[in-house]
Structure 1
Amino acid sequence: MRYYSSRSALAVLFLFPLLWSGWSSLRGQDGGYTLGNYAQMARFGEGLPRYFGNSLLVSVITVAGTVVVSALGGYAFARFRFPGKNLLFLATLAILMVPYATILIPLYVLLGYVGLQNSLVGLALVFVMFQLPFATYMMRNSFEAVPKELEEAAMVDGCGSLRALIGILLPAVRPGLITVGLFAFLASWNDFFAPLILLNDGSSFPLPVAVVSMTQKTFGAIDYGMLQAGVMVMAVPCLLLFLVLQRYYVRGFMSGALRG
């Protein structure tokens, strides 16, 4: 009984900030309850649907790129032997020790050379790069947790490495793939600093930058009601996605995704 009471107390503790934001977003300046803050958001600048669509596009590209590249990289590190394998893997992990804010300006210049400056696709590629070290690490351990006998049996039946990967191994590491994709989505959906540096066109802003812009008023005053409405708009998709994928997320960690 004490165990369930503790869990309930923790649930209330973690949900309280979200509930407070929801309550604050419905509070009008006259003290009553209204949807006026959400209506103001919907009319700001290019419109809330545009900013929401920008965030969604960046997140989808980030998730797709991260899942595909990390799955191929993790498979290679887990199953193949090649010169410099361990050194390359350590170099990949070493990227995690570099604060990403320190390389945003060089990346901005680099995106200009390849024609992706001030581009949502360019921003998504930057997010993919930042996600790959951790994602590759997780996928390598996920593949190592799968018995090699499954792959060997497929190859005996005539499957090549790529066909065995797609038909046998990827379904076996699905929790790891979903975990990697969920991490990539949350990171790209909620990031504020990278879009602020890499984008200079207001119509291309994702939700975090747009929300900060729309809550700034005269002399730097902040409209806290609209800010809390923006927090709710950004938080609800993340919360729903996590709840839907929760069982895969937990299984991804418990079935060898962090082994080694």
Structure 2
Amino acid sequence: MSYENILSKTHDGITTITINRPNKLNALNKATINELNQAFKVADKDKKTKVIIITGSGEKAFVAGADISEFADFDVAEGGKLAAKGQELLFDYVENLSTPVIAAVNGFALGGGLELAMACHFRIASDNAKMGLPETSLGVIPGYGGTQRLPQLVGKGRAMEMVMTAGMIDADTAKAYGLVNHVTTQEELMPLCEKIAGKIMRNSPVAIKGAIKAINANYKDGVDGFKVEIKQFGKCFGTDDFTEGTTAFLEKRKAEFPGR
């Protein structure tokens, strides 16, 4: 499938999706959000894809925010619809994807860019990365899940400060806050993401899918995460991956998971 605003390639079980609008610092517009939805959908259905890595083109930005020119003249109803549709198509969609998604944050991740990174299952940053939610400086609040996911990751107080000040934090601060898992050089960013993806791919994709569901359940209102874990744990016992994993362990050999 060809795209105008993104690039997607699959190699050795990893699909790398690159937001390719360098002249706009990879800012998210409607067209890009729609293309990302399609690319994630294709990758998630592709049996060859075991891990997805998302990054931005160039060396300056992962995603420097949303394309403000698209919504500067919106009214109340249009603003609400913009947030709801974006969360449905991309941010909530990525968070609940059954295929692991790693955000390779290679520069500025601001506004919608940080919200996209936070929707991924975890984040790795280059040492030049800058992250923040500057929306209050524009007279609006984060609308793609930022007010919900940021406190989950860094705590309420830090999230309040970041949103209220509209300031940026650097990669080392983001790591100290728990917002990113690792910080490395820009040159080593993708190799490190691919190395971690390789470790993920050695494990059962069926079990990983269940683990994503169980972990996410803890952050959903009205959902008992323990019950979801029990259900997903039990379902594992009916899979070929469980049979292979336990047999390989008892036979002291490396498991070859069939993914079912």
TM-score w.r.t. length of structure 1 = 0.24
Query: Hey, which of these two has a bigger chunk of helix by percent?
Result: 1
Name whichever structure is richer in strand by fraction: 2
Work out which structure has the larger RCO, using CA pairs closer than 8 Å and 6 or more positions apart in sequence. 1
TM-score (norm 2): 0.24
